[in-house]
A and B are shown apart, each in its own frame.
Chain A
Amino acid sequence: MADKVVIETKDLTKSYDGVTVVDHLNLHVGENEVFGLLGPNGAGKTTTILMLLGLTEPASGSARVYGYNPTREPLKVKRITGYLPEKVGFYGNLTARENLMFIAELNGISYAEANRKIDELLEMVGIADVANLAVGKFSRGMMQRLGIADVLIKNPRVAFLDEPTSGLDPEGINQILDIIANLPKMGTTVVISSHQLYQVQRVCHSIGILSKGKTVIEGSLDQLGREALAGGSYRIEVETSHPNPKLIDLVNKIPGIRNVEAKDNLLLVNADLDLRSEIAKVVVGSNTPLIQMKIQEFSLDDIYMKYFREA
């Protein structure tokens, strides 16, 4: 998935009034993936995004977005990136359509093309019915939806979304998350900054956790999850009607199994790979009824908490 690294920071540092908010940060985001930027409040997530956009100058270190340096070539970066600020705002006296049209014009999109695109996007984010209403009358959630449309109108190659689901109703969250999950297919790399771990887990392929301006951990979600939960192995729960030492022995002999523990009717298996089918074969082969088998799902909470305790 992440063959090509499109966003890269090298020792990126920023300080305000002597306080270092981003401290020698190294991040890598692959092309067409959804990258989650996590961390507690004040970890430097927004500052990092601003530096990647060229809206803030780094004190030292460098950043690259599709090979462009945001500090030196801000226009080239801004042409291919979309940014949804945390507190997104629109001109209250203009309608949703006019607001989007203004941004389209700033990006040099032709009138006809922009009109077509606006209809499509407003439909997609679910506010087509209020397209011609002044934005001043919009609720927080409607603004947020309009903000997503605003980012997508320029067909960005990278979209930076700062808390994209804040202020949305549950249905809206699902809608927006579906849109975000679909973006890589349309050729857009997404960087999300969020505290909503469950939502991040749903859409992100890889994450970076920041704390006090430093990267705590960075990597793909699957891999980090397994490391956090079971030291890098797969955990499989096998439920049988009556486990016996002989069965445990048999399961243990499957190549790739690290250890097996028995607990009531359950066998807890640690494996290097997802060996569910092999285990099933062995269990059934030993004439023990197999009731169910499941691979333990990790949650992003586990990852987050684990690395936070370490940090």
Chain B
Amino acid sequence: MATIFRKELADFFTSIRVFIFFLLVIGASAAGLFASYQGIRGISTESGFVFLKLFTTSGTAIPSLTTFVALFVPIIGIALGFDAVNSERSNGTLSRILSQPIYRDNVINAKFLAGIATLFIMVFTTILLVAGFGLRMIGVPPNAEEITRLFLYLLLTTVYGAFWMGLAILFSVSFRRIATSLLSSLAVWLFFGFFWVSLIVPAIAKTTEASLMLQRLSPHTLFGEATTVLLLPIWRGAGLLTAGEELQYMILNPLSLGQSLLVVWPHITGLIGVTAICFAVSYVLFMRQEIRAT
């Protein structure tokens, strides 16, 4: 499996696709930095966590870095997975690889792991770039809790990307044509990212609670909320508490890391859950699939 993993990783890093995404990563980091450069002077520093503000502050016209990340991580995930299996099939390499003395699951496991490694490196690069230049810009070093929160955010983002990759791999196993799997993945992304939250949920949900619950069916919403809670310690999450009258009595001080984690625990579990489901389904499909040369 290590051999396939190494080859897949090498493929990713020599492909034009990933090169373009690295440009995107650098671009997004630059834009995020610029946004916080514009916005960070205006925010109050009373609550502490100034360093985290680098990631969440939006500028006058440019959205914050986390917004960029939420936008490009699904695309990277899809780009890494949409042709994982069906391109091998149409190139005629799949039957050749599977006739070697390796277990069939090694092929798909290695592809998935190589994708996760690539995603992790990309997100890590983004965070390091912004952290490094941000440190130069504001001169406030991060404290231990901020570093922990950033690390958790890195893991969360990787899981989120892995979900989209898992979905794309699932489509690449089920559809013979590369274009079909790409378009299906993008369609799901568009549906959950845009239509679900802004069009469909308002149309069918009667109460705020129902609306929240429905919104959280979208991985996009889950990721957005989890990000906010992790990177804005003052945020309590859009739970039932904030919807009620108790809001006005709430003391606006930041949550401890443990409490923040408690708030987003269901989100993280949910994201890992859907990722696991996507992977498991593609795994089962792949294991049972006919391998014909033509």
What 0/1 readout, one digit per residue, does chain B (91-118) give for beta carbons within 8 Å of chain A?
A: 1110111111111000000000000000
Contact of A55 with B99 in the complex, beta carbons under 8 Å:
yes
Complex CA–CA separation, A55 to B92 (angstroms): 14
Task: Specify which of A81, A89, A150 lies most central, judged by the most chain B CB atoms within 10 Å of its CB.
Answer: A89
Partner of B291, one of A55, A86, A91, A162: A55
Q: Is A296 an interface residue (CB 8 A)?
A: no
Residues from chain A with Cβ under 8 Å of B268 in the complex:
none
Residue from B7, B11, B92, B100 within 8 A of A89 (CB atoms): B92
Interface pair B101/A83, CB less than 8 Å apart = no
Bound complex: CA A154 to CA B14 (Å): 27
Chain A CB within 8 A of B290 CB: yes
Min Cβ gap A133→B in Å is 16
Contact of B14 among A16, A53, A93, A108 (CB under 8 A): A93
User: Interface majority SS on B: helix, strand, loop or mixed?
Assistant: loop
Pairwise interchain contact A86-B3, C-beta atoms closer than 8 A: no
Evaluate contact between B92 and A78: CB separation under 8 angstroms. Answer: no
* A85 close to chain B: CB less than 8 A: yes
Q: Is A123 interfacial (CB-CB < 8 Å)?
A: no
CB distance from B3 to the nearest CB of A (A): 4
Residue of A with least CB distance to B11 = A93
Please choose the segment from A98-106, A240-248, A258-266, A268-276 that sits at the chain B interface, where 4 or more of its residues have CB less than 8 A away.
A98-106
Asked if B294 CB lies within 8 Å of chain A CBs, one says: yes
Identity of the chain A residue whose Cβ is nearest the Cβ of B4 in the assembled complex: A106
**B16 → A minimal CB distance (Å):** 10
Size range of the interface on A? 20 to 34
Known A-B contacts A89-B92, A102-B3; A46 and B292 likewise in contact (beta carbons under 8 Å) = yes
Cβ < 8 Å to B, chain A residues 157-204: 162
The one of B14, B96, B103, B290 that contacts A150, using a Cβ cutoff of 8 Å? B96
Measured between beta carbons, the chain B residues less than 8 angstroms from A90 are: 91, 93, 96
Contacts of A15 in B (CB 8 A): none
Cβ contacts A57-68/B at 8 Å (1 or 0 each)? 000000000000
Closest 8 CB pairs of A and B: A89-B92, A85-B293, A83-B99, A89-B91, A79-B101, A78-B101, A106-B100, A105-B3
Tell me whether A46 and B99 are in contact (CB under 8 A).
no
Hey, which chain A residues are within 8 Å of B3, CB to CB?
102, 105-106
Determine the interface band of chain B, counting residues with CB < 8 A from chain A: 20 to 34
* Contact for B101 among A46, A75, A102, CB less than 8 A: A75
B60 contacts chain A at the CB level, 8 A cutoff:
no
Residues of B within 8 A of A (CB): 3-4, 7, 11, 14-15, 91-93, 95-103, 290-294
Confirm or deny: A56 has a beta carbon within 8 angstroms of a beta carbon on chain B.
yes
A-side residues, CB < 8 A to B, are 16, 46, 50, 53, 55-56, 75, 78-79, 81-83, 85-93, 102-103, 105-108, 150, 154, 162
Q: How far is the CA of A202 from the CA of B16 in the complex (A)?
A: 47
- Write out the residue numbers on chain B whose beta carbons fall within 8 Å of the beta carbon of A154: 100
Say yes or no: A87-B291 contact (C-beta < 8 A), given A75-B103, A78-B99, A106-B4: no
In Å, the complex CA distance between A310 and B45 comes to: 93
Chain B residues with CB under 8 A of A81: 99
Tell me which residues across on chain B come within 8 A of A92, comparing CB atoms: 91
Residues of B within 8 A of A16 (CB): 290
- Closest A residue, CB atoms, query B14: A93
Q: Identify 17 new A-B residue pairs, CB closer than 8 A, beyond the known A46-B292, A85-B99.
A: A46-B294, A50-B292, A53-B99, A55-B291, A56-B291, A78-B102, A85-B95, A85-B293, A91-B11, A93-B11, A93-B14, A103-B96, A106-B100, A106-B101, A106-B102, A107-B100, A107-B101
Cβ of B290 and Cβ of A46 under 8 Å apart? no
CA–CA, A142 to B132, complex, Å? 50
